[in-house]
Chain A
Amino acid sequence: MSNKQPLSFTVNGDVAETLISGGETLLTVLRDHLHLTGTKRGCNQGVCGACTVIVDGKPVRSCLSMAALSEGSEVATVEGLSENNVPSNIQQAFADNGAVQCGFCTAGVLVTVTAFLAENADPTTEDVRHALSGNLCRCSGYKKIIDAVMAAVMTQAAEASA
């Protein structure tokens, strides 16, 4: 396999190095090379949002992102949202508010919401509906996801003012 090229980047704060083929996506590298399987493959076409990860601060569809373009990047996945497996405020709010059913879309939703709230500390429910419009969920009807996001906003606001 002489056509493989080295890839080096940071995932959830750790250096990751692997050999990739030309067409491989960031999603394939995360899941199949690094076995960071929290990030899901739902459609592999950039529609469902289950594979969303944060690359250099921006949410990205990892199934559409060529792995080679991640050279030197800082990538955060759902596994990196918590510290020592203690859920973040957002993750905790999802658990507490019934926002998780089958859980397959959850990683992408959490990553999207984490990136969104980093830019918007005080959103309305309508803002949240728009922020989630690229993440498909087949179980929930979205209501409890939106409620969970608003609950996380309250928690973060309370912590910020404390």
Chain B
Amino acid sequence: MSNIPGGVGASPPKLEADEKVLGRATYIADMYRSNMLHGAILSSPHAHARILSYDTSAALALTGVKAIVTGDDFDHNYMGPFIKDEAAIAKDKVRYIGEPVAAVAAITEDIAREALRLIEVEYEDLPAILSMDEAVADGAAVIHEDLNSYVKIYDAVCHGNVMSETKLEEGNVDTAWDQCDLIVENIYETQAQSHLPIETCGALAEVDGKGRVELWSANQSVFRVQANVCETLGLPMSKLRCLTPSVGGGFGNKMEAHVQPMVVKLAMITDRPVKLILNREEDLEMIRARHPSRIRCKTGVLNDGTFIAREVEILMDGGAFADDSPGVLGHSLLCSRGPYRIPNIRSQGKVMYTNHLRFAAFRGFGNPQINFATESQIDEIAAKLDIDPIDIRLKNAMDTGDPWFGGQIVESNGLKECIAKAREASDWTNSADNNRSLGIAVCGHISGLLGTGAIVRLLEDGTVALNTGATDIGQGSDTVLSQMCAEVLQVPLDTISLASPDTDGSPYNWGTTASRVTYTTGRAVVGAAKDVETQIKQSASEMFECSADDLELLPGGKVGVIGVPGKELSFFDVSGFTHWRKGGPIVGSHSLVYDTATVDPKRANVTGLPFGQIGVYAFNAMIVETEVDDRTGRIDVIRAWSATDVGKAINPGLVEGQLEGGFAQGLGFALVEEMIWDSGRLANPNLMDYKIPGSLDVPYEINTIIVEHPEPDGPFGAKGVGEIGLVAVPASIANAVYSAAGIRLRKLPMTSERAFNALRERAEDHAA
């Protein structure tokens, strides 16, 4: 434990905790500007149609309406993190019900919404593609006719309505089946889940007197906002400044663009501030969700439980635009071996364009889907072999230094300790007691990806300013990054100021995604703080006329000569020296891009993987106690044990918060949440019909167990924990349900109705 107040390993309250409990934190909807206009969006009533014409004259004639934009106001400029296929607003065609078709700015929101009803759009209906099977059927309508000419940032395999195709292979699956004593093959299906942060998406844009745009929005990356708006509007990045207020949750929903490009366009046309906040229905229908998937999984083993071979085929509904889909599919395939040794494996998948809203990044990034399939199947194998589910996992689990699927060596691997601790804490037994039983599932999950920077400055009085560009969406990264900075510089946490992300002044940060801020941005913070430490020692060595090697930082913002008590300078003294006499103000910085290769070409044969360097791995073992009501099919989760190797818990309280919150969101995914479409129209676009877990649905007893196997290149050994706590929840519940009631549910969500039907079928089978 640190001897610095609020240092690494301590759990100080979040930096903004007081502001939030007092109701003083400002979110996008809380921002007002004088002379501000309000925006509203007309959305498509068609799943797939050509836009023939617009008539906005009646709407423009309405008193108080200041501007209307449609696809005609935008050039053919496209955005997208992997395939650039999406305009700021529907252009030429609409591709899902809910897609923005026109946007209005008016003096009040009521007038803006009234204007929407006066806009006439003439469409030519096209056949709607409402399932993955329809997407690849012979003669299917093509959703993106220009797919081949779109800019792609990777070597994409795509054709027709197939957006991206990826394959990973190790060993020789085709010959390996002969070695197996048992082969199990099943189909598993998962549904669309809405991110549903309690804050909906919104933005506020204004143009300053010099013609430069300032854009505030609910986001997970001001730099992705900047890139998306500039790409779709044809603006140079230097003409757009992006900032962030407090963000009311994201989970992936706010990583890429939502309404920002349209709001900027309205502000530029009207030359007035424009604010647009989506209502709940719009947010559910218009933005993004977790990919529905259908997964065929086949695993072959020896009688002693040794895994020999696996074949996986993943089909994902990608929706109308690519967004993060190629990455989600790639990561799902990368996780298809799980944290096990399986010498022969071939995993391939396709993500298809359909006329649903875009499916995209959502906590877990494809891992929850494949984990449900593979971890369920491992229990099915264990049952057939009469091996304990934990024993079969331990027998095949990766050890430290073993490669992940693809070949990347995993240096930090606490999986077996996670399993052992969860087993012990839960008093594990694999037998049912009155329809109650335990179930287990495990996972590994990445943290890492892409570029990031940090700047640490020593202010004139010796206090410290940290600037990273990382958006804290509630998980607590502002606090964690500040704790790391405090620890390196040996200063109390409350002497550090943290800058809010601002594309004008913050170093680049790809975003709050991929469980990456603690790990990736943390590395940048540690590097920048160490740069400051070096400069402090350099200046102090000149002041003391000694070698910098003879100096050390002392707690409380001091630098002293090693072994000479009392021979020390405060940061105040050093900073004064550099500001006024020699060296200049101390500014430390560090930049990096995650650069360890995911694929070892000597080991794995890979095509269509959209990323080459993904990250390091955290591990989780999830045990749940579940009760199944055999009369109604109702499934209740009574208790849970979530043991996670986090490398190093920089702030254990915040780690618990991530694991508990991930568990609750995983519980919703497993048991109740499902977006349902009726002929292309979302049938449950509100919180009455789309249920998320409430306080009575989530067990109070979520026991989080922190395991620390330091990551060699992680900041203080830390790895990310934002996503991992969700991943194994569905399979752990499915496995507990099987153990408790003898029914194997292979389709999410595991509703009472599905469980009831399975119980009835089982009873009929027994009777027959």
Contact = CB atoms under 8 A, between A and B. Distances in A.
Given A133-B696, A138-B249, A102 B197 contact: yes
A95 B17 contact: yes
A40 B199 contact: yes
Nearest to B196: A138
B730 to A, nearest CB: 16
Given A42-B280, A107-B23, A101 B653 contact: no
Interface residues of B, number: 53
A136 B198 contact: yes
Contact of A129 (B13, B26, B696): B696
A121 interface: no
Interface in A79-96: 79, 81-82, 85, 87, 91-92, 94-96
A104 B23 contact: no
Contacts of B700: 125, 129, 142-143, 146
A85 B18 CA distance: 9
9 contacts: A37-B27, A95-B20, A101-B475, A103-B25, A104-B248, A129-B695, A139-B661, A141-B702, A143-B660
Interface string A109-138: 010000000000000010001101111111
> Could you tell me the dominant secondary structure of chain B's interface residues?
loop
A28 to B, nearest CB: 10
B692 interface: yes
B694 A133 contact: yes
A102 B18 contact: no
A-B pairs with lowest CB-CB distance, top 5:
A38-B23, A102-B474, A104-B248, A141-B660, A103-B20
A69 interface: no
Contact of B661 (A40, A134, A141): A141
A45 B20 contact: no
A39 interface: yes
A41 B280 CA distance: 9
A145 B11 CA distance: 16
A35 interface: yes
A39 B25 CA distance: 11
Contacts of A94: 17, 21
Given A39-B23, A77-B23, A138-B198, A102 B696 contact: no
Nearest to A39: B23
A138 B32 CA distance: 26
Contact of A91 (B22, B25, B29, B687): B22
B247 interface: yes
Interface of A: 31, 35, 37-45, 47-48, 50, 77-79, 81-82, 85, 87, 91-92, 94-96, 98, 100-107, 110, 125, 129-130, 132-146
B433 interface: no
B17 A78 contact: no
> Could you tell me the dominant secondary structure of chain A's interface residues?
loop
* From A38, A85, A102, A135, residue with most partner B Cβ within 10 Å: A102
A98 B22 contact: no
Interface string B424-464: 00000000000000000000000000000000000000000
B602 interface: no
A140 B661 contact: yes
A135 B687 CA distance: 12
A42 B656 CA distance: 25
A115 B296 CA distance: 51
B368 to A, nearest CB: 16
B660 A140 contact: yes
A43 B251 contact: no
B73 interface: no
Contacts of A144: 656-657, 660
Contact of B664 (A106, A133, A142): A142
B51 to A, nearest CB: 30
Contacts of A82: 22
B663 interface: yes
Interface string B467-479: 0000001111000
Nearest to B701: A143
A77 B475 CA distance: 25
Nearest to B652: A98
Given A100-B17, A106-B20, A110-B21, A40 B198 contact: yes
A53 to B, nearest CB: 11
Contacts of B656: 98, 144
Contacts of A41: 29
A98 B13 contact: yes
Contacts of A40: 27, 29, 198-199, 248
A100 B656 CA distance: 12
Interface string B662-699: 11110000000000000000000011100010111010
Given A96-B13, A110-B21, 18 more contacts: A37-B26, A42-B280, A47-B688, A48-B687, A92-B21, A98-B14, A101-B474, A102-B197, A102-B248, A129-B696, A129-B700, A130-B695, A133-B694, A138-B197, A139-B657, A140-B660, A142-B664, A143-B698
